Structure 1
């Protein structure tokens, strides 16, 4: 079985790396997009006008045309593009990695946490609440379109109810010397009541590519339980989404590439999220010392590792379609493909593959540190389900776009999700052997795409509610 899993993953990696699969520009729902805009203005203005209560006419905001055309509903469905020409060195490396992973030892020893948890922080984050209307004012009735990284603000603003529920903050990180935008989804638009906090991490492309939790779950044709604002507004929690960190794995990097999406001099996301931010954020939003963390795809790994490095700090943890392992050859190679898209590599991030710091950041090796948290883990099978079929999108997208978008999800998203499913079974075996309980959600169908992650909002709630002391 292990050999079969590695052969499947090798096939995926070779095909993606060699450019066997061409990648059309994709719209947010997985369909092929028009070249000029991946985040179509109809998704932000027209749809919002249809959904918005009376009184919002004339105040709609559009998103800029100058958006990246390679954003997709499945933000991990990108490859290491070689323009169709195979890179012999890369392909040989993949073959070697697959062979090594079959014989790799199954029980690495986790290094002690204190080895790496030196005082990287230089203080606490400084939070500043922003006014959503002021942020949107330059784009209201001016013909000027908001930049892609503000798509989530556009979605909140274009619905009169949501603009009251979604609060916007800037958090200054002393260790990274950058301002980080935060979206905070509230039940009632106030912080009068003391509530638990759920940290929801974005996937690889994040808000920088218009692929954050708010943007991807607020389409007009989705059910309320698939919409992050609608779902959580009656759950008596505050949901915090860091709207930066694309391709970072939300980890502390050994060295910064200082290029692409990873430009800052220091990349210390774990320091920010676990040391600098929690106390001032809790004071600002009236938190009650209960917290959860969750992520999808890239950040599914991050959520597990951040919880493992801080046992008991998070009362609940959610990992949606991720790969816990990072230090073995094959998972490390896949992580490298992800960070390559942002301008970096895993050696810059975690040091040498299999080295002590890489093993420290391996969510499989350190899974025993999850026993103090309630844990929810999900993965689809990779087999196409109804939401992956073109027939489910013909009415809204047309026959050609539906067929092309569906084929992309079925082939590429299916292969990637099958690999995530394999990783998730490895994590289950590890946690079962350690006697650590978790709620496992192995869906019989579904690709590496947003329909499954939207389901995770409601399907993870019983686990989160149990950990946070709330009714499910």
Structure 2
């Protein structure tokens, strides 16, 4: 099995390299030579390709033993150090749609002095460190990658201030809390859009199981069986007290169709509209219940947080783009304090 994994990783890396090179030729951009930028554990930049808007970096994760695609939008003024905002994709890891192509992130941040970093991959992983390698998903060490491996590389590659914020949608809306708890101080602010932060009660476990298995993974390899203490240990709801001092923005709709659940709202994409109404509506209704629970918990602990409970909205990108816009003042204040 080990030989097959190694050969598969080599083939994947080769395919990625070819894709990057072909993409550079087709788009008329220059392929940068691999740099020596690395993290203390040996993670390093394999290649960097400057696109018209986004820079595509391939970062080798020593802990996961594989390359990770990372898209970077540099701050407009490279002569002045800038903070960094990490944006995490959802359960599909950005394969289908992602922050770079499903939102106006590039245009929105064009005049804002901040670096924007979007890691790709982590399908069904909850961006956490799994206790066991998964037959379908492989070795998952995403929490370590996002707190120990990638930030030092970004800081060494870009002109940064060292101040970070992180936001994510759906599955990643849970992960941002877990990341803040696992590595205090790495992220000054977190944004959760349509997430379900409580993970160890019956509803939370059902949500986690559904997300992980949708990507062919086995949740037992992540936190063990449902009775395992690891479920509670990774439940931000139970450890919310430790979030004190972190700027928090949380948002969700309620599943009722809104402005982005119309033909015009999806730019005529009837397949997308059907998905939002049939699947995005109930998913967002669940996220709404989770968000209200979290709001009550933070109020109980007297922990400041901005909570936006929208009166409409399904589990879809139009609303997450809106959430990103609305949460930026919270991130900006935390990143520049």
Short-chain TM bin: 0.7 to 0.9
- After TM superposition, the runs of 4+ consecutive aligned structure 1 residues lying more than 6 A away are none
Higher relative contact order (CA 8 A, sep 6+): 1
Q: SS of the counterpart of 1:424? A: helix
In the TM superposition, residue 246 of structure 1 has moved relative to its aligned partner by 1.6
Which is greater in Rg? 1
Cα shift readout 1:328-370 (whole Å, capped 9, x = no counterpart): 1221111111111222122111112242211121121121121
In the TM superposition, residue 407 of structure 1 has moved relative to its aligned partner by 4.1
Partners of 2:72 and 2:272 lie apart in 1 by 32
Partners of 2:273 and 2:60 lie apart in 1 by 41
Q: 1:127 to 1:253 in 2, by over 3 A?
A: same
In the TM superposition, residue 391 of structure 1 has moved relative to its aligned partner by 5.9
Q: 1:168 to 1:390 in 2, by over 3 A?
A: closer
Q: SS of the counterpart of 1:386? A: coil
Equivalent residue, structure 1, for 2:290? 423
In the TM superposition, residue 187 of structure 1 has moved relative to its aligned partner by 2.9
Q: 1:392 to 1:318 in 2, by over 3 A?
A: closer
In the alignment, is the contact (CA less than 8 A) between 1:390 and 1:405 conserved in 2? no
Cα shift readout 1:116-160 (whole Å, capped 9, x = no counterpart): xxxxx981421244224xxxxxxxxxxxxxxxxxxxxxxxx5xxx
| 1:294 equivalenced with 2:133 (yes/no) | no
Q: Aligned ranges for residues 59-98 of structure 1 at < 5 Å?
A: none
Q: 1:272 to 1:60 in 2, by over 3 A?
A: closer
Q: SS of the counterpart of 1:233? A: coil
Equivalent residue, structure 2, for 1:32? none
Equivalent residue, structure 1, for 2:309? 442
In the TM superposition, residue 405 of structure 1 has moved relative to its aligned partner by 4.5
Equivalent residue, structure 1, for 2:113? 236
Q: SS of the counterpart of 1:240? A: strand
Q: 1:187 to 1:122 in 2, by over 3 A?
A: closer
When you count strand as a share of all residues, which structure comes out higher? 2
Partners of 1:348 and 1:444 lie apart in 2 by 37
Q: Which of 249, 252, 256 is the equivalent residue of 1:383?
A: 256
**Structure 1 unaligned runs (5+)?**
1-57, 62-120, 133-156, 158-162, 218-226
In the alignment, is the contact (CA less than 8 A) between 2:84 and 2:165 conserved in 1? yes
| 1:458 equivalenced with 2:319 (yes/no) | no
Alignment RMSD (CA, Å) = 2.2
Equivalent residue, structure 1, for 2:98? 212
**Structure 2 unaligned runs (5+)?**
1-24, 29-38
Partners of 1:236 and 1:437 lie apart in 2 by 26
In the TM superposition, residue 419 of structure 1 has moved relative to its aligned partner by 0.5
| 1:179 equivalenced with 2:46 (yes/no) | no
Q: 1:179 to 1:407 in 2, by over 3 A?
A: closer
Q: 1:354 to 1:193 in 2, by over 3 A?
A: farther
| 1:202 equivalenced with 2:75 (yes/no) | no
Q: Aligned ranges for residues 63-212 of structure 1 at < 5 Å?
A: 123-132=41-50, 157=51, 163=52, 165-188=53-76, 191-207=78-94, 209-212=95-98
In the TM superposition, residue 311 of structure 1 has moved relative to its aligned partner by 2.5
Q: SS of the counterpart of 2:260? A: helix
Equivalent residue, structure 1, for 2:124? 247
Equivalent residue, structure 2, for 1:279? 152
Cα shift readout 1:419-445 (whole Å, capped 9, x = no counterpart): 000000110111111110001111100
In the TM superposition, residue 244 of structure 1 has moved relative to its aligned partner by 1.7
In the alignment, is the contact (CA less than 8 A) between 2:61 and 2:67 conserved in 1? yes
Equivalent residue, structure 2, for 1:412? 279
Q: SS of the counterpart of 2:304? A: coil
